[in-house]
């Protein structure tokens, strides 16, 4: 039996949410209207999840969440707010919340997010009596996110070639996760048929562990394994931030390196990927619009608490003759370029063929630059020898 505690000043919210949650087997729901009594509520062994309702002041909620009793590893926190913003999401994640849900959606969506977090706590409690849980395994593989909030900069091309280069010739156990959940192109770029996707994995989320997740990976001929984006855009709604966090943690268990390709956006999905990453490569091109967009994005990440050691700048089509110097780009973005990818007509040809350029034309300048970037990303061999 696991308890879910709903804290909110509005009884109607708590009662309606309780009505949905009580349909779940093995779940007890309790209501509270006071943050002052929360420490006593979570002290009981069966207190699994605390849900903070939308009528509570955010500062008071964050203060309550910081209490030692509430920060217990056995208790997960879910924040329901009138509207989710990137600033609020980052603040809540730093405070240790498992998920943040907007009250502007349906009660069913709120209930689904709470149930996901509850099931995750149950999994961890069960696992702790037998072997190290997911949290203990999170240090195994390295997570690298390829990021840009502007489309057309070659982000997916870099991510797919990076994954292939890590697998072969570098011989890494690599997994590529396509997080462009509505319009992901990794399957096309690698010539893979999307028979199984992240959406299918989420359908068995209640039972999903690393061994089961292997069955949803599609293997490229290079040896790179991929977790592809959903086939239909509407399926993206099923991949919540809490589910995504768990999936990334499982992928860490299965690989030396997990490469994440993200959509051209600054949303909850992208922030979750960034937050779980060891390195983030922001991709820009040699045009003023891309440079401006990258500068704003990096400034935003800094404001959210991500430092320059995490986020690194990659310049794609770096040899374009556009009356811009590389030093001007670095000055404008306030970041040093760590990798430069030249332009080459081989790249669109390789995309159309469904064959990465590092495989299609391995001796070309663009392939060599992508291989050098892969070497920059790759952890020392043997660092994760126990991954499967």
Residues 6+ apart with CB under 8 A from 97: 65, 77, 78, 79
CB atoms within 10 A of CB 139: 11
CATH 3.40.50.2300 for domain 2-131: yes
Residues 6+ apart with CB under 8 A from 36: none
Domain ranges of the chain: 2-131, 142-377
Phi, psi at 28, each rounded to 5°: -110, 135
Q: Two tokens at 200?
A: 């299918």
Q: Two tokens at 359?
A: 């495989």
| 212 touches 180 (CB < 8 A) | no
pLDDT tier for residue 126 given thresholds of 50, 70 and 90: low
CA 217 to chain CA mean position, Å = 17
Rounded to whole angstroms, how far apart are CA atoms 362 and 356? 9
Give burial (CB, 10 Å; 0-12/13-18/19+) of 355: middle
pLDDT, position 383: 57
DSSP secondary structure, 249-316, as one string: HHHHHH-SEEEEE--SS-SHHHHHHHHT-SEEEEEEESSHHHHHHHHHHHHHHHHTT--TTTEEEEEE
Give burial (CB, 10 Å; 0-12/13-18/19+) of 158: buried
Residues 6+ apart with CB under 8 A from 249: 134, 135, 137, 138, 276
pLDDT tier for residue 176 given thresholds of 50, 70 and 90: very high
Rounded to whole angstroms, how far apart are CA atoms 338 and 270? 21
CATH 3.40.50.300 for domain 142-377: yes
The two domains 2-131 and 142-377 share their CATH topology (first three levels equal): yes
Residue indicated by tokens 């991500």:
306
CB atoms within 10 A of CB 129: 7
pLDDT digits (tens, 9 = 90+) for 280-321: 999 999 888 899 999 999 998 888 888 888 999 999 988 876
Among the residue ranges 32-41, 63-72, 97-106, 176-185, the one predicted with the least confidence is: 63-72
pLDDT digits (tens, 9 = 90+) for 214-271: 999 999 999 999 999 999 999 999 998 888 989 999 999 999 999 999 999 988 899 9
Q: What is the mean pLDDT of residues 328-342?
A: 91
DSSP secondary structure, 25-57, as one string: TTEEEEEES-GGGHHHHHTSTTEEEEEE-TTS-
Residues 6+ apart with CB under 8 A from 132: none
pLDDT digits (tens, 9 = 90+) for 127-164: 544 333 333 334 479 999 999 999 999 999 999 999 99
Q: What is the mean pLDDT of residues 14-31?
A: 85
The pTM score is 0.73
**Sheet (strand 174-178) strand order:** 218-219, 225-227, 174-178, 257-261, 142-147, 279-285, 311-316, 337-341
Query: What ranges in the chain are assigned the alpha helix state H?
Result: 11-21, 38-42, 58-65, 86-94, 107-128, 134-137, 155-167, 186-189, 198-203, 210-213, 241-254, 268-275, 288-303, 326-333, 346-353, 357-360, 365-377
Residue indicated by tokens 């943040």:
100
pLDDT tier for residue 167 given thresholds of 50, 70 and 90: very high
pLDDT digits (tens, 9 = 90+) for 356-386: 999 999 999 999 999 999 999 998 765 555 5
pLDDT, position 109: 86
């Amino acid at each position: 039996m696991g308890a879910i505690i709903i804290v909110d000043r509005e009884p109607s919210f708590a009662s309606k949410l309780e009505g949905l949650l009580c349909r779940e087997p093995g779940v007890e729901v309790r209501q509270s209207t006071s943050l002052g009594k929360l420490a006593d509520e979570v002290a009981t062994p069966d207190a699994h999840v605390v849900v903070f309702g939308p009528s509570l002041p955010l500062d008071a909620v964050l203060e309550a969440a910081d209490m030692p009793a509430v920060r217990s590893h056995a208790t997960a926190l879910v924040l329901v707010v009138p509207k989710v913003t990137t600033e609020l999401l980052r603040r809540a994640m730093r405070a240790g919340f498992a998920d943040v849900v907007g009250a502007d959606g349906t009660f069913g969506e709120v209930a689904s997010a709470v149930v996901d977090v509850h099931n995750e706590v149950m999994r961890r409690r069960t696992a702790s009596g037998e072997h190290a849980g997911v949290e203990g395994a999170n240090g195994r593989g390295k997570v690298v996110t390829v990021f840009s909030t502007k489309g057309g900069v070659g982000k997916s091309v870099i991510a797919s070639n990076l994954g292939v280069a890590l697998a072969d010739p570098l011989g890494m156990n690599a997994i590529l996760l396509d997080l462009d959940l509505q319009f992901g192109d990794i399957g096309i770029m690698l010539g893979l048929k999307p028979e199984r996707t992240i959406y299918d994995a989420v359908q068995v989320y209640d039972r999903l562990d690393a061994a089961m997740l292997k069955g949803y990976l599609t293997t490229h001929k290079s040896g790179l394994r991929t977790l592809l984006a959903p086939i239909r855009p509407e399926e993206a709604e099923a991949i919540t931030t809490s589910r995504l966090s768990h999936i990334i943690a499982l992928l860490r268990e299965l690989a030396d390196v997990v490469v994440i390709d993200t959509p051209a956006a600054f949303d909850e999905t992208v922030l979750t990927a960034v937050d779980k990453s060891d390195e983030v490569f922001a991709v820009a091109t040699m045009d003023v619009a891309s440079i401006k967009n990258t500068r704003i994005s990096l400034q935003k990440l800094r404001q959210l608490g991500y430092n320059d050691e995490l986020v690194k700048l990659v310049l794609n089509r770096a040899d374009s003759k556009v009356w811009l110097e590389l030093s001007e780009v670095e000055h404008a973005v306030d970041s040093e370029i760590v990798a430069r990818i030249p332009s080459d007509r081989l790249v669109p040809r390789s995309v159309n063929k469904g064959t990465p350029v590092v495989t299609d034309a391995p001796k070309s300048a663009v392939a060599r630059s992508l291989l050098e970037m892969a070497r920059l990303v790759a952890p020392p061999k043997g660092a994760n020898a126990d991954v499967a």
